[in-house]
Amino acid sequence: MADNDTGELRRSLGVFDAVTIGLGSMLGAGIFAALGPAARAAGPGLLLGLAVAAVVAYCNATSSARLAARYPASGGTYVYGRERLGEFWGYLAGWGFVVGKTASCAAMALTIGAYAWPSHAHPVAVAAVVALTAVNYAGVQKSAWLTRVIVALVLAVLAAVIVAAFASGAAGAEALRPVGTTVGGVVQAAGLLFFAFAGYARIATLGEEVRDPARTIPRAIPVALAIALAVYALVAVAALAVLGPRRLGRATAPLVDTVRAAGTGWLVPVVQVGAAVAALGSLLALILGVSRTTLAMARDRHLPHALTAVHPRFGVPHRAELLIGVVVAVLAATVDLRGAIGFSSFAVLIYYAVANASAFTLRPDEGRPVPAIPVIGSIGCVVLAFAMPLSSVLPGLVVLGIGVAAHAIRRARAK
């Protein structure tokens, strides 16, 4: 059976699988790496930053769930923006997602290398990309099975960190008081911590592969977000209570420093392995989601139409997956981790701003959320995006501008 340009993907995922994929994306390297930079930005206001990030993430999740139930096709906000706001806004969201999450894939791969073998981080990162591209190529069910294992391991490691911190005599409530916190610091911390929440959208980008999407997607997204928020809050409180805001802000491996300060140094290698496994889970789901948005954009000829091919045996967009795998491998061999994360956060927040604007246009009979939710979500996304460091905002604007210019040229040629 030959490849085809309009082949549909196999609907094989239930609620549990969709929640697991979302958790595999959210419970990744963000919680192991983002606490330090967020604490530097907000100091003792770290928990306020987490709360702001959670509110924006909740609005985004609600808008995404309603839209995904209405438009259960691969592509996420690329599809929603196109259908609700017009072709340009869908394209802008899709471009922002693909370039932002491709950078995020590289960041996750580099995190794996940094924890697994610091002196050879780049080669390990490339090897991880190759391995996980092969897993995704073999079919989404195999990806979901592997993600279940990863989520279970990461949750076990984070639980050990939380218990070690609260059981030690090093934890103190004084560090949790947001004294001397600035609004700007809290907002920037929220933008950094939002990076760790963004995985729930992976469920929406799998809309063409879940069973009964109108029921599955609206249930899976809030459940995955709620579990991730609970875990993040407990971990953040534990790290802040043990290390204090200043020491946490200086930490490059905050959870390793937390277990050391708690007097449980034997947990250090466990946490290191957990961080690498968490990044592995995020990378697995990220490659999966980016390839599906690439597929949707290729179907509309915003990207090369050859990328629409669906594998006759595995039922996956194999050409899109291979292309993304190659690009991410090249980035993982060459880019800086911090730059990749900042660029990704800016682009993805723009993507979610379009999602919220799209949800605002839904009618009541189409499952429109309470109007305040997409309004708060849109404003929150824009504010958090432009609160990021200038070194992230400027490259983000340049790359988005390149995408807009390419779109304009394509439209002009089509006339």
Ramachandran quadrant class, 28 (left: phi over 0; alpha: psi -120 to 50; beta: rest): beta
Secondary structure (3-state) at 352: helix
Residue 5 lies in a domain: no
Rounded-to-integer distance, Cα 140 and Cα 161, Å:
31
Residue 206 lies in a domain: yes
**Residue 231 reports pLDDT greater than 50:** yes
When pLDDT is averaged across residues 240-268 and rounded to a whole number, the result is 87
Residue 137 lies in a domain: yes
Residue 5's pLDDT is what? 47
Residue 9 lies in a domain: no
Contact 132, 113 (CB under 8 A): no
**Residue 31 reports pLDDT greater than 80:** yes
| Cβ neighbours of 96 (radius 10 Å) | 27
pTM equals: 0.81
Q: CA-based angle 158:60:96, to the nearest 5?
A: 95
Residue 40 lies in a domain: yes
Residue 6 lies in a domain: no
Q: Find the domain containing 136 and state its range.
A: 15-414
Secondary structure (3-state) at 185: helix
pLDDT band at 291 (very low <50, low <70, confident <90, very high): confident
Rounded-to-integer distance, Cα 126 and Cα 325, Å:
9
111-153 pLDDT, tens digit each: 888 777 878 888 999 999 999 888 877 765 556 677 778 788 8
When pLDDT is averaged across residues 296-315 and rounded to a whole number, the result is 83
Query: Which of these, 69, 227, 237, 214, lies nearest to 155 by C-alpha position?
Result: 227
Residue 1 lies in a domain: no
Domain count, the chain: 1
Secondary structure (3-state) at 13: strand
Secondary structure (3-state) at 151: helix
Q: What is the CATH number of the domain that holds 397?
A: 1.20.1740.10
Residue 260 lies in a domain: yes
386-410 pLDDT, tens digit each: 998 888 899 999 999 999 998 898 8
Rounded-to-integer distance, Cα 77 and Cα 92, Å:
9
H or E segment to which residue 47 belongs: helix 46-70
| Cβ neighbours of 379 (radius 10 Å) | 14
